[in-house]
Structure 1
Amino acid sequence: MRWLSVVGGLCFSWAPPAMADGTPVECGSVDCEGVREMKALFVAQINFAGVTSRFSMDLAAVGFAPPACADGSRAPVPGPEWVAGCRFAYRVTAVTGYPDAPATFTATAQGAAGTAAAGVKLLISRPSWDKVVFTLERGGVRRFVGWDECLPAASFTCDAQLREGTQNIREIFIMERAFLQDKERYSSNLEELGFFPMGCTDGTRAAVPDSSWTGGCRFIYSVEVAGTAPAMTYIATARAISGPIAGTTMKINETGVLTITPVPGMCQ
């Protein structure tokens, strides 16, 4: 799934970021309630910004409404700015926005005393529009949370692992088509196109071999342009560099034909 966001007059698309390699997955733990709802809060803010070009301190305004427990009870809230779920309470702690500053927000979740979530704290932050940082703290130990956590087992199939690359390379195709209509040429400069893929949820990005590549989380991206206008062509490449799909290469050309070359034994 992909969301369109407009911030300060800049239009760009956003896909859920990938997890950093090695991030624990605790689908059956109480922590997952907080993880799932913090992801929902993040998506609600992104959708709100897509309409209003800003983030909000008011979680009700962005449409974030975490469910209560099965018996109808909710976590006690520390103050009026908090929103209660079952065992966690949530609030936005900071928002900045255009025209005075880049649009960012930070939100937190706090486990309720007397429940299995007591002492658990989560934080999700969007320090820039191409980055997200997501952490969970329990017993004084903080770790990064992957976007893949607390999802069904089907989310870890090969197709799901490839999703970052397929979504982003198709986005490059859309951007090249729009760029051609505006400039009457293609571009090998991904920054010029406005392509800024999300990194991992620990704030890191895939290492690139040189400046012609741009790093996402599991994938790196580049475009090669050939010919001169009006007879120009291009090939965009996405290459997986980590996880069970490392080495897999995707390519798309100006006609929209996508090819995927897996590595031997991928996901086996």
Structure 2
Amino acid sequence: MFFFSKNALNFRFSSHLASFSLIFFIPAMKITVSCSSVQTIVDILDEPEGEESIMTLGQLRERIASDNDVDVETMKLLHRGKFLQGEADVSLSTMNFKENDKIIVMGGKNAMADDAGFKMLMQYEKHNLSNLQKTYDVNLHDVADLERGFLEKPKQVEMGKKLEKKVKFFNEEAERHLETLDGMNIITDATPENQAKRNREKRKTLVNGIQTLLNQNDALLRRLEQYQKILNGEIVE
């Protein structure tokens, strides 16, 4: 049984007696394109009304370059562990794509690195948020040391009070970072929509990272308070 579609391949077979065409159905599908921390869904082998169809490797490359602000000439597309290669007019139907396949974009000069809003977020992450993670790691290590009980009880009680202040201060510091990120002007009237989307996604990633640390720190504070109750005799082991 044969199916007919606008998205079809025609194969002609000739013989001494006759020639005929076989038409095989090539279904439209969605693929995921991953560039940096942003993922987008692209429809290929489809002909949507009012939109340009993506049927060839060249059209796919142009679409990815447009969506992600990367250089179409220098970027590389990784699909199932292999780079997609071929002329611009190579049909995507010959590349063995399957529904929900993933393409990873590598290389290419990314315009987002030059955007003022994105730079602001990157610099803030580098100079502030990396230190926030280090602070949490130190507090976690110190609480674990306290729980080992190597110190005499009076010193453990004293150390517990100091750690409680540090752990609580961490929450205050993290909240300030959330307020700072929320107040950052990372999008202007001149920011292209695709760049604005990246900036919002980047800020969301940073905010989620801080909120994760806050949740972990709350758990650490409860853990510390539990051990302090043991030291104070409120809980008998």
TM > 0.5? no
Give the TM-score normalised by structure 2: 0.23
Q: Which structure has the greater CA radius of gyration?
A: 2
Give the TM-score normalised by structure 1: 0.21
Higher strand share: 1
Higher helix share: 2
